[in-house]
Structure 1
Amino acid sequence: MSSGIPYTWDTDCIRASATCRAEGRLGKGTKHHPLEIQSTTTKKVVYLSDSGSSSLHTVGERMDWKRLTLVFCWLECASAAGISCRNEQGQAVDWYILYKQPSINDENGLVYLYMDESTGGWVPAHNPIDDQKSALAQTLLPLFQHFTNETINFGYILYNDQPPEPFKTASSSFGHSKGLVMMDQETGIWLSHSTPHFPGFDITGFWPNSGYANGQTFICGTYKYSAFRNIAVQLQYIHVYSFDAYIPEYFYPELQCVVDKGCYPKKTPWDRQLNMTSLGGHSFISYAKYSRYHDDLYSGLLDKHLESAFYAKSWGRLLDPLPSNCSVDFSVYNVETVQLPTTEPYSITKDHSKWCVTMDSKLHRWTCIADMNREVSQEHRGGGAICTDNAAVWSAFLDIVNTYQPCQS
């Protein structure tokens, strides 16, 4: 444990990473100073030696060594202090991808699949997606804490072209895009998704009532704070519709510019590529286009970079969908039915997610989680995609393509 880093602990919280943060019972200490912990039952002091070892005392008496196992609880609370993508156990993870399955026969509309760097592919989540122990809820805990306690040194931007009530739907001049960023001055997350009216403003109602029927995707990445200057510029290119935000004045001005909605490209180029490295060292690429790009995100932009024919998955109830396209350098085939590991094959009319996956099994194994559909009107709106060449992610998405639309002769 390094000098100068605060540590937090609560003797009551076995599930420390959630409880300590949610209830706000946090002490602070460093390597050279004792940490006083205010508990509902006792007051403890943790002494951290210069070597990094610790000793734990009840005020006025030596603590039973057997109870030192509770130090693990303290360590959990320490890790909970950072802004990170989190799994269902509340543990920090570098990134994850979620796929909420659609309701089939009016059942199982809150079941979701989970994948991070440790799973090697899809695994069924243990909790419904609207549960307070879901990966989404665990990840968003710092946001809900801020709503309650107005935590300092914390910023966030919620954007959604279909925001929750009482906010109005964005005009078509804004990007067809949904997501959020939140950060302190050490780390932060970018969560991009496809879900209308998400998120709500407290942990008991963060999932929208409208979110049961259709399939949805989420991608979460954990990044150093320094990455969010460039991430903010990507959001400016997409011209996201920020419906709620708080950015401290000492945070990057590019973030405040996104909140003000007045920052977007004024000259060419109308697209932008951002190579990103997550906190854990994994590579992601963000592709963004402004409305004046005037082309499809998939056949007009991603096709230039993925270097392979690919399947593109859009919402299946579009007014004027674009057909599969074999006239571009690398053919783009529209997915028509999907089969998740937990479902029978189903039509994309039940699935609101947006993603694409390359067909090349040797050199170009790309998967992109996007926020746009292949629709004529969306050629003239901002949007983007976050792409990864992770082989396990690629295999997981390729496997769920059941049928696709061939190109017209």
Structure 2
Amino acid sequence: MVQQEASQSTEPAASGSRSRGGEALAPDSSPGEVSRLAGQLQGLALAEGTAAGWCVALKPPKSVQLVVLDCAAGGQWAETTVDAWLQRLLLNQGWTGWVCYNDETPEGSAASGTKFAHAKGILAWRKDRIGWLIHSVPAWPAAMSNECLPPLVASGQRCGQSFLFLSLPRAGNMLRRVCDQIRLMDACCYTGRVRPDEEADVPFREDRWGEHLTRTYKLQAPSLVPLGPGVWHLAKDAVWGKTWVNGRPTDLDFYEDGLARTPPFEGFWHVQSWLNGNCPPFGRTQHCDNILQIRLPDGRPYETAKDHAKWAVHRDQPLVLVGDLNRTQTCAVLGLLPFLGAVGCSKPSVAAAV
């Protein structure tokens, strides 16, 4: 796949525009520059015969409804409720083990994620399969079993959210590779089930929830791991994100300084993430801008200030990212786990823009 880098932006920095390392940045993208997420996703397909599968779901603000697209849907969005979709994917699957991680742990949890990665997910496994849910919902789930998964908490329902579910074959060292990504970014694992006979296969221990995962061997960051044809995962640790420019400490923008410069993802990205926090977000840069408005299929547009989801689409290539990374300066120094979903590109994009 040949990627083309976007040219340097020549827009002047508007009043009130944000800066990074003393450099003025152009304004964020206008509402007219909304993402082509639907079209990009509908143009993606896994390679023939692959045993991996993906499913992407988006939840609008103040709603429990989802719009869902999976690799077997033929490019058609489906609608369902968030709890029904999550239960269908995660319950009664015969998992022998699982772990939940979140930087905002549920109420009542003995663990605190404030000094861990800004990462949220559920990893489950059985003899022949791995299920990996990467999501944006804080303080969820409080617990999980093969038969029970609690509904989203109120804060998760209030804002827009994103979900990505991966179904992977448990073959070779796939489980270890996934666990190494979670270990590299230093996720806060707060609950789960790990059988004694499986402790050799995973780094999680039931008596060590809320502790930093040990690294018995060196892990390189950022780490790009292929999970199947056209499916990658990119992780970093807390060391990545700080650099010195002209003698001044500078926070790196993971999307601009990492994603957009990592083969095969070079080029320009439209990014959706939560920019409402106290830490200044990055503005428009050479290879990235921020989405300001979203229109889901058959839905009214809403401003991204109401959306806690984290996803991005490439301007020119059929590449999609779904993860848990905000485009803010605090996230520059946290271990983060975005999923890079260049999930094949064997079909042209056929859908209208979101």
TM norm structure 1: 0.63
Contact 2:143 2:192 in 1 (8 A): no
2:4 aligned partner: none
1:299 corresponds, among 256, 274, 286, to 256
Q: Does residue 249 of structure 1 match 2:203?
A: no
1:376 aligned partner: 329
Q: Does residue 225 of structure 1 match 2:170?
A: yes
* Separation (CA, whole Å) in 2 of partners of 1:163 and 1:341: 32
In the TM superposition, 1:63-78 aligns within 5 A as none
Q: Secondary structure at the match of 1:399?
A: coil
C-alpha deviation, 1:238, in angstroms: 1.2
Please tell me the residue identity of whatever aligns with 2:136: S
The 3 A distance-change label for structure 1 pair 398 and 348 is farther
* Separation (CA, whole Å) in 2 of partners of 1:229 and 1:116: 25
1:142 aligned partner: 92
1:160 corresponds, among 80, 102, 107, to 102
* Separation (CA, whole Å) in 2 of partners of 1:177 and 1:185: 26
Q: Does residue 213 of structure 1 match 2:158?
A: yes
* Separation (CA, whole Å) in 1 of partners of 2:268 and 2:123: 31
1:31 aligned partner: none
Q: Secondary structure at the match of 1:291?
A: coil
The 3 A distance-change label for structure 1 pair 345 and 97 is same
* Separation (CA, whole Å) in 1 of partners of 2:122 and 2:141: 9
1:102 aligned partner: 61
Q: Secondary structure at the match of 1:118?
A: coil
C-alpha deviation, 1:206, in angstroms: 3.0
* Separation (CA, whole Å) in 2 of partners of 1:250 and 1:172: 31
2:301 aligned partner: 345
Q: Secondary structure at the match of 1:222?
A: strand
* Separation (CA, whole Å) in 2 of partners of 1:393 and 1:210: 37
In the TM superposition, 1:243-282 aligns within 5 A as 243-251=190-198, 253=200, 255-257=202-204, 260=208, 261-264=212-215, 269-277=220-228, 282=229
The 3 A distance-change label for structure 1 pair 341 and 169 is farther
1:311 corresponds, among 267, 270, 274, to 270
Please tell me the residue identity of whatever aligns with 1:129: V
The 3 A distance-change label for structure 1 pair 265 and 97 is farther
The 3 A distance-change label for structure 1 pair 171 and 178 is closer
Q: Percent identity?
A: 22
Q: State how many pairs are aligned.
A: 282
Contact 1:357 1:397 in 2 (8 A): no
Q: Secondary structure at the match of 1:156?
A: strand
* Separation (CA, whole Å) in 2 of partners of 1:393 and 1:335: 25
Please tell me the residue identity of whatever aligns with 1:270: A
Gaps of 5+ in 1: 1-91, 104-108, 144-150, 401-409
2:70 aligned partner: 116
Q: Secondary structure at the match of 1:197?
A: coil
The 3 A distance-change label for structure 1 pair 183 and 266 is closer
Q: Secondary structure at the match of 1:112?
A: strand
Gaps of 5+ in 2: 1-50, 242-251
Give the structure with the higher percent helix. 1
1:195 aligned partner: 137
C-alpha deviation, 1:124, in angstroms: 3.4
* Separation (CA, whole Å) in 2 of partners of 1:120 and 1:367: 17
Cα-to-partner distance string for 1:330-386 (whole Å, 9 max, x where unaligned): x111111111113222111110000111001xxx32101011101111111001211
Larger Rg: 1
C-alpha deviation, 1:387, in angstroms: 1.7
Contact 1:159 1:241 in 2 (8 A): yes
Please tell me the residue identity of whatever aligns with 1:113: V
Q: Secondary structure at the match of 1:235?
A: helix
Please tell me the residue identity of whatever aligns with 2:299: T
Contact 2:253 2:282 in 1 (8 A): no
The 3 A distance-change label for structure 1 pair 93 and 397 is farther
